[in-house]
Amino acid sequence: MKSFVSRICEQIEEHHGSPPNYVEVQALIQRFVKNNPEADPESIDWVSYYDPRLEYSEILQRLREAYPQYRWEEGEAGERYDEERYFQELYDYLLTQARDLPEDLRLRLVRELAEELGLPAVEAKRIEERIVERPPERPRKEVVVDLMMLAKYPWLPEGKQFVSAFSFEEVDERVYQRACERVLEAAEKGMVSAKLEDPLTEVLSYPTAVAIASYVTDRWLINRLALAEGRRAEKLLMVDDPEVLEFAAGKVLKTIQYIGDEYDPLRGYGDYKLRFDEYLKITTSVGLEREPRWKLANRVVYRGYVALTLAEVARIVRAYVQIAIRNVASSAAQSRGRLPARIRDAAEGIRPRLGEIVSKLKREITAIPADMPPCMKLIQQRLIAGEDVSHFENFAIAAYLLNTGRSVEDVLTLFSHRSDFNERVARYQVEHIAGLRGSRTRYRPPSCGKMLSLGLCVEAGKHCPRDIRNPLDYRLPKREVSNIEGG
């Protein structure tokens, strides 16, 4: 069988001018042999009907139509070589890694990797139940709101009440220095650090930073600061006591509840639950619905409540912080003339550095090839700008770039713009997509239909050829090519 598959692959490469997916060809032939044990695979014109540009399912359909006398019904599950197969193999990788660790670290690993790989809550829960015994209920700690807690979470109602006792004119110069540092960190890195050695300065610098960004009146900077502060909040909540996360979430989410009743049907799918209307309002406001696992149709819902894991609650709180900062900054920007002179001076002082950061980002965005499909170009622009990009979008752009001649290192350089970039995790995922790990399958980007269904297709394909089925089929319209060549 191996020699036959190799020969067919060589013929396909000679016929089409590009190498086929060996594992995909092998799966097609094995499917045929399994379902037609008396038939000779030589009787099939594999070369003519296999097209590297098509999805596996599309190639299979062509063979069904050309050879209706044979059986082509589906064989074993998992014969898909697209993003679903990729995420399934990452799922298996998570299980393997968890088994190799001491038991006391398994639960933590499952939660962290499930979040990193974007697994739905139901799947993450199943993994947890398979490899970790649920720890017994422990006494719940009482949460005390002190200055250190406000330094971590200044967006809490208690934090807002505390800072209302100070004015921008009377705070220490160290507050302005730290506030400028927060804005520049957000602009350059997409993440704000937590400097807790001086909690009073840390608390007061939060609203000061928002006011400085408002004075600059740059929408990108406001969104960037909101995203960075949201990420800071999420990171701190994930390493804090669960009771602190529950307390903070209860302060900013109106309908969040801890699932304490062991008979609650949602208990097996998460430790918390949130009313679906509040869930939808928050997730759609920050674009979380671009990630399939956050779509309400993919969640476990019972009597109007959505089940959430601890990590997902932290992610929802992060979204709340983003929305809150954007709303406050936008309102302040409309009355920037009434902001104190110290805010104006601080903003003008960092404006040259902000200009350098924005200019660098614009140069990188401008360098994106003009002949990229609009959907892939937009994802790449958002990655460079440090915006939130879903796991599915990461997969799509990585698969596209790797299938169009870019190297693993090129893709990692692009992903390094993410504030949560982890080279070890990212390298594994990119090398997996490139066919260097796992099943050794080089994954194709999602089809145009899949991109459209997830809201990732730009203007419903208005700028693409009508017969396009996959971003790899995209070609720049002749009139645009002429404009580029003509300067």
From 391, 230, 239, select the one nearest 317 (Cα to Cα).
230
The pLDDT value recorded for residue 45 is 84
Contact indicator for 206, 195 with CB cutoff of 8 Å = no
Beta carbons within 10 angstroms of residue 327's beta carbon: 12
Give the C-alpha separation, 74 to 30, whole Å: 11
In a domain, 391, yes or no: yes
Q: Which two tokens stand for residue 449?
A: 């239909």
Torsion of CA 252, 254, 256, 260, to 10 degrees: 110
Q: Find the domain containing 59 and state its range.
A: 2-66
In a domain, 31, yes or no: yes
* 186 and 331 co-located in one domain: yes
C-alpha to C-alpha distances, 8 to 1, 330, 423, nearest whole angstrom: 11, 61, 37
Tens digit of each residue's pLDDT (9 = 90 or more) over 315-344: 999 999 999 999 998 888 788 778 899 999
Three-state SS for 171?
coil
From 179, 180, 218, 186, select the one nearest 202 (Cα to Cα).
179
Q: Which two tokens stand for residue 164?
A: 């209302």
- φ, ψ for residue 55, nearest 5 deg: -70, 160
In a domain, 215, yes or no: yes
**How does DSSP classify residue 274?**
E
In a domain, 358, yes or no: no
Sign of CA dihedral 265, 269, 272, 273: negative
- φ, ψ for residue 302, nearest 5 deg: -140, 125
- Please state the separation of Cα 178 from the chain's center in Å: 29
In a domain, 359, yes or no: no
Domain boundary residue among 66, 93, 115?
66
Rounded to two decimals, what is the model's pTM? 0.66
Question: Which CATH number characterizes residue 187's domain?
Answer: 1.20.930
In a domain, 363, yes or no: no
**How does DSSP classify residue 240?**
S
* 23 and 44 co-located in one domain: yes
Contact indicator for 317, 248 with CB cutoff of 8 Å = yes
* 154 and 236 co-located in one domain: yes
- Please state the separation of Cα 176 from the chain's center in Å: 33
How big is the CA angle at 296 (ends 325 and 81), to the nearest 5 degrees? 110
* pLDDT tens over the chain, length 487 residues: 777 888 888 888 877 777 787 777 888 888 888 888 777 888 888 888 888 777 777 788 888 878 777 777 754 333 344 556 666 666 666 666 655 666 556 666 666 666 665 666 666 666 666 655 555 555 667 889 999 999 999 999 999 999 999 999 889 999 999 999 999 999 988 889 999 999 999 999 999 999 999 998 788 889 899 999 999 999 999 888 888 999 999 999 999 998 877 778 888 788 899 999 999 999 999 888 878 788 888 888 988 999 998 889 999 999 999 999 999 988 887 887 788 999 999 999 999 999 998 888 888 887 888 888 999 999 999 888 888 888 889 999 999 999 988 899 999 988 888 877 778 888 888 888 888 876 677 888 988 988 888 888 988 888 888 888 899 988 876 555 444 444 4
In a domain, 360, yes or no: no
How big is the CA angle at 200 (ends 171 and 179), to the nearest 5 degrees? 60
* 39 and 153 co-located in one domain: no
Give the C-alpha separation, 299 to 305, whole Å: 10
* 276 and 340 co-located in one domain: yes
The pLDDT value recorded for residue 283 is 92
* 57 and 91 co-located in one domain: no
C-alpha to C-alpha distances, 401 to 225, 425, 434, nearest whole angstrom: 29, 18, 10
Three-state SS for 54?
coil
From 210, 202, 204, select the one nearest 148 (Cα to Cα).
202
* 252 and 336 co-located in one domain: yes
Single-letter amino acid code for the residue at 241? D
How big is the CA angle at 109 (ends 108 and 115), to the nearest 5 degrees? 95
Strand partners for 272: 258, 308
* 114 and 174 co-located in one domain: no
* 304 and 181 co-located in one domain: yes
Q: Which two tokens stand for residue 170?
A: 């009377």
Give the C-alpha separation, 252 to 141, whole Å: 20
* 319 and 224 co-located in one domain: yes
Q: Which two tokens stand for residue 425?
A: 């995790």
In a domain, 76, yes or no: no
Q: Which two tokens stand for residue 52?
A: 């590297």
* 124 and 142 co-located in one domain: no
C-alpha to C-alpha distances, 467 to 372, 404, 449, 450, 454, nearest whole angstrom: 17, 20, 12, 15, 20
Torsion of CA 111, 115, 117, 122, to 10 degrees: 70
**How does DSSP classify residue 136?**
P
Find the radius of gyration of the CA atoms of the chain: 26
Give me the count of residues in the chain. Answer: 487
Number of independent structural domains in the chain: 4
* Residue at token pair 């713009």: 417
* 294 and 427 co-located in one domain: no
